[in-house]
Amino acid sequence: MKTIGIIGGGQLGLMIAEQAHVLGVRAVALDPAPDAPAFRVCDDHIVAAYDDVAALDRLCRMSDVVTYEFENVPGEILIPLCGKYNIPQGYKPLYDSQDRLREKTNARNHGLQTPGFAAVDDEASLRAAVRELGLPAVLKTRTLGYDGHGQMVLKSETDIERALPLLTVPCILEEFIPFDSEASIVMVADRERVVSFPVGRNIHRDGILDLSIVPAAASQEVLDRMKAQSERFMRECGYEGILAIEYFIRGGEIYFNEMAPRPHNSGHYTIEGCTTNQFRELVRYLTGEPLQEPCLVAPTVMKNILGQDLDAARAVEREERPDTYVHIYGKTESRPKRKMGHITFVGITGEEYERQWADRFVR
Ligand code: AMP
């Protein structure tokens, strides 16, 4: 029996482990938190810091193949391990995605359209970037940003002063795209092929994903172009394993926003909404099994459950409704903006969700 090692024990690790078990594969995870969600379902686990070299080495020795479930694993940790152990996704997709400037430059170099952008390090380069890109514009830290953290929209010249405190770390200024919608695609690639999951529309609230609605609200031509360009991008970059790309759609234009070389929150709907899911195909890739092309079972809506919605989610679970799948990650501490679970509604559209379900959760 094969064993997958997972660096990180959050909900993504939990769902990788669950799908590993479906395919008869063992899973072990390493995480600094003794109560990490993935530990409850893993066959074994290691409580250790991500920079604990001896512990990571142990994880690799316990595993036939190793993957990561979060994107900020430092290169100085992963690169030496990649030389010694079987970590087939390697460090490159992480490296390319860990810095927003490098990430957008790489996307553009491989033919993807991005919002206009410029590096910003101080007041002078911020003012120069504003002159070049115009306002409104979005200022973001280059590294370690997530769920809208470390970002600020600049609407007028007076906002430049307010933005100066952000410049203690290297930043990027981006052209503001007044998009019609946001969308994402999740792909899994081995040496032979790339399979991709149906594109979902993503609705964020306070910078955090709230809903994924599948299929996405865009013309078939735009969705086909997004799939084709994303698969070509993954191939041309030489990435294997799993990759998610987030886009803005405006009219017929598709703008690359960001990517992540791990299972993606917007792909959770695939567990029940598709014939195979993002976690299962990642496990197939890791264990050298042939990939399977996913199909959408029915229109599907995924609702993220943050701390403030946990009681409502439990109430939905007790109703035992068909085609309504409540996932609670079992995090010991619930906080208002913390992702505590998700619910997948199979067989309903975005409009039906709004009518039947939206009022059950905090607005
Ligand atoms: P990010 O962390 O880069 O994904 O940004 C979080 C959210 O901020 C995105 O999902 C968008 O809703 C919004 N956003 C980020 N960058 C831009 C942009 N260049 N134009 C318009 N909205 C943006």
**Residue 210 sits in which domain range?**
181-360
Buried b (16+ CB within 10 A) or exposed e, 336-345: eeebbbbbbb
CA of 111 to the centre of ligand 1 (A): 20
* CA 295/CA 260 separation, integer angstroms: 22
pLDDT tens digits, 279-326: 999 999 999 999 999 999 999 999 999 999 999 999 999 999 999 999
Residue at 218 is within a domain: yes
Say whether both 124 and 228 belong to one domain: no
Say whether both 153 and 31 belong to one domain: no
pLDDT grade for 363, boundaries at 50, 70 and 90: confident
Mean pLDDT of 325-350: 96
pLDDT tens digits, 179-218: 999 999 999 999 999 999 999 999 999 989 999 999 998 9
* CA 113/CA 94 separation, integer angstroms: 20
| Burial bucket for residue 129 (CB in 10 Å: 0-12, 13-18, 19+) | buried
Residue at 44 is within a domain: yes
Residue count of the chain: 363
* CA 149/CA 72 separation, integer angstroms: 15
Say whether both 205 and 348 belong to one domain: yes
Say whether both 163 and 276 belong to one domain: no
DSSP secondary structure string, 176-214?
Answer: ----SEEEEEEEEE-SS-EEEPPPEEEEEETTEEEEEEE
Say whether both 344 and 199 belong to one domain: yes
Q: Taking all residues of the chain, what is their mean pLDDT, rounded to a whole number?
A: 96
Please indicate whether residue 176, judged by its CB atom, sits closer than 6 Å to ligand 1.
yes
Residue 275 has pLDDT above 80, yes or no: yes
Residue 167 has what pLDDT?
Answer: 93
Residue 147 has what pLDDT?
Answer: 62
Say whether both 22 and 76 belong to one domain: yes
* CA 150/CA 166 separation, integer angstroms: 8
Q: Give the residue among 230, 238, 294, 212 at the shortest CA–CA distance from 19.
A: 294
CA of 263 to the centre of ligand 1 (A): 19
Residue at 259 is within a domain: yes
Q: Give the residue among 200, 212, 265, 209 at the shortest CA–CA distance from 69.
A: 265
| Burial bucket for residue 90 (CB in 10 Å: 0-12, 13-18, 19+) | middle
Residue 71 has what pLDDT?
Answer: 84
Lowest mean pLDDT across 138-147, 176-185, 317-326, 349-358:
138-147
More confident residue, 145 or 59: 59
Say whether both 7 and 81 belong to one domain: yes
Work out how many domains the chain is built from and give that number. 3
Please indicate whether residue 138, judged by its CB atom, sits closer than 6 Å to ligand 1.
yes
Please indicate whether residue 115, judged by its CB atom, sits closer than 6 Å to ligand 1.
yes
Residue at 228 is within a domain: yes
In CATH, what number is assigned to the domain containing residue 36? 3.40.50.20
Instruction: Give the end of a domain, one of 45, 69, 87.
Output: 87
Mean pLDDT of 101-126: 98
Residue 185 has what pLDDT?
Answer: 98
Contact 75, 87 (CB under 8 A): no
Closest residue CA from atom 16 of ligand 1: 138
* Closest ligand 1 atom number to CA of residue 145: 2
- 306: three-class secondary structure by DSSP: strand
Residue 109 has what pLDDT?
Answer: 98
Residue 37 has what pLDDT?
Answer: 98
Instruction: Give the end of a domain, one of 152, 175, 198.
Output: 175
Residue 223 has pLDDT above 90, yes or no: yes
- 143: three-class secondary structure by DSSP: strand
Give percent of the chain above pLDDT 70.
99
CA angle 348, 253, 134 (to 5 degrees): 120
Residue 93 has what pLDDT?
Answer: 97
Residue 146 has pLDDT above 80, yes or no: no
- Pocket mutation for ligand 1, best pick of 114, 117, 166, 257 (most atoms within 8 Å of C-beta): 257
Say whether both 202 and 268 belong to one domain: yes
CA of 298 to the centre of ligand 1 (A): 29
Residue at 283 is within a domain: yes
Say whether both 272 and 286 belong to one domain: yes
Say whether both 54 and 200 belong to one domain: no
